[in-house]
Amino acid sequence: MQSPDSVKIAFLGGGNMARALIAGLLRNAVPAHRISVGEPESAARETLERELRVQAGPDNGEAIRGAYLVVLAVKPQQAEEALRASYAALHERGPVLLSIAAGLRIADLRRVCPPGMAVVRAMPNRPALLGAGVTGLYAPPDVAAGQRGLAELVGAAAGRAVWLRAEAEIDVVTALSGSGPAYFFLLAEHMARAAEALGLAPDTAALLAAGTLHGAGLLANEAPDLAAQRAAVTSRGGTTEAALQVLREGGFETLVARAMQAAAARSVELADMLGAALQARRQ
């Protein structure tokens, strides 16, 4: 595999997620002059050039020139247009395409790409904005090891990356790590509200709830055996055990499982809708 300082990576779309991934690549020793961005908004281009020192232009074909890896970082509804505008450059260069566009399946992406193009999908999550993301990656068997390595370089740039066994697992990843931060925020919100009801000042409750979420996350990251981490906080007959007992009796586990099932099912539904819309436009 190429070393980070010799790769050439192009981004189509220079929004929030692209900026987070580019910042991670720069931290991981990819030089700024090896990264280019195709981005229609002049204000976004100025931000990219000022803050990250990467080349940004309005022409996707120009951005792709010489790239080994092209990251599709536009909103799913913008993907078709972005790829069409890049078709000639993609055809000429034959890079691997890494799509972070939620819900766009590889088969749908391939319909608007040059024939035989290697396509990898990634599902990052919002903590990537701070370099603390986790990303699920899937590559079909026809993607070569070197191309996987390049995709992983980007996936790992904003935190950790993990390879999935099947594309359908992306829907589970969406339910788990994609939507997951919101579940923890909701739990912390409810904890703060309950603490207020028990007498704490609102600011104090919010600060303690957010700080607890942060600290628990750091501990989980250090040693990811979550059951062991929970056991370490729970002494027999103590306060934590009293709270966990109430959660268990109230059906917490079933509720979490149902919430995850709803998110995964919605992910499939949205991907079906996107795929059908793409098909309809081609007929």
Ligand X SMILES: NC(=O)c1ccc[n+]([C@@H]2O[C@H](COP(=O)([O-])OP(=O)(O)OC[C@H]3O[C@@H](n4cnc5c(N)ncnc54)[C@H](OP(=O)(O)O)[C@@H]3O)[C@@H](O)[C@H]2O)c1
Tell me: does residue 23 bind ligand X (CB under 6 A): no
Q: Can you tell me which of 124, 136, 155, 180 binds ligand X, judged by CB under 6 A? A: 124
Tell me: does residue 74 bind ligand X (CB under 6 A): yes
Specify the 3-state DSSP secondary structure of 70: strand
Check the CA dihedral 192-194-196-198 and report its sign: negative
Q: Which residue is nearest to ligand X (CB)?
A: 15
Helix (H) or strand (E) holding 259: helix 252-282
Residue 80 CB, shortest distance to ligand X, in Å, is: 9
The CA distance from 157 to 269, in Å, is 29
Tell me: does residue 39 bind ligand X (CB under 6 A): yes
Return the ∠ at Cα 137 (arms to 135 and 141), rounded to 5°.
170
* Ramachandran class of 264: left when φ > 0, alpha when ψ lies in -120 to 50, beta otherwise: alpha
Tell me: does residue 161 bind ligand X (CB under 6 A): no
Tell me: does residue 229 bind ligand X (CB under 6 A): no
Which window, 40-48, 211-219, 229-237, 273-281, contacts ligand X (CB under 6 A)?
40-48
Strand 35-38 relative to strand 69-72, pairing: unpaired
Per-position DSSP letters for 197-249, written without gaps between them: HTT--HHHHHHHHHHHHHHHHHHHHHS--HHHHHHHH--TTSHHHHHHHHHHH
| Residues in contact with ligand X, shown as a per-residue x/- string from 177 to 196 under the rule CB under 6 A | -x------------------
Residue 12 CB, shortest distance to ligand X, in Å, is: 5
Specify the 3-state DSSP secondary structure of 80: helix
| Residues in contact with ligand X, shown as a per-residue x/- string from 82 to 111 under the rule CB under 6 A | x--x--------------xxx---------
Which window, 9-17, 89-97, 165-173, 194-202, contacts ligand X (CB under 6 A)?
9-17
Helical axes 202-222 vs 226-233, angle rounded to 10°: 130
Tell me: does residue 158 bind ligand X (CB under 6 A): no
Tell me: does residue 73 bind ligand X (CB under 6 A): yes
Q: How many residues bind ligand X (CB under 6 A)?
A: 29
The CA distance from 229 to 64, in Å, is 46
DSSP secondary-structure letter at 134?
Answer: E
The CA distance from 265 to 271, in Å, is 10
Residue 138 CB, shortest distance to ligand X, in Å, is: 14
Tell me: does residue 49 bind ligand X (CB under 6 A): no
Closest to ligand X by CB, 177 or 205: 177
Tell me: does residue 47 bind ligand X (CB under 6 A): no
Tell me: does residue 26 bind ligand X (CB under 6 A): no
Residues of this chain that bind ligand X (CB under 6 A): 12-18, 38-41, 44, 60, 73-76, 78, 81-82, 85, 100-102, 123-126, 178
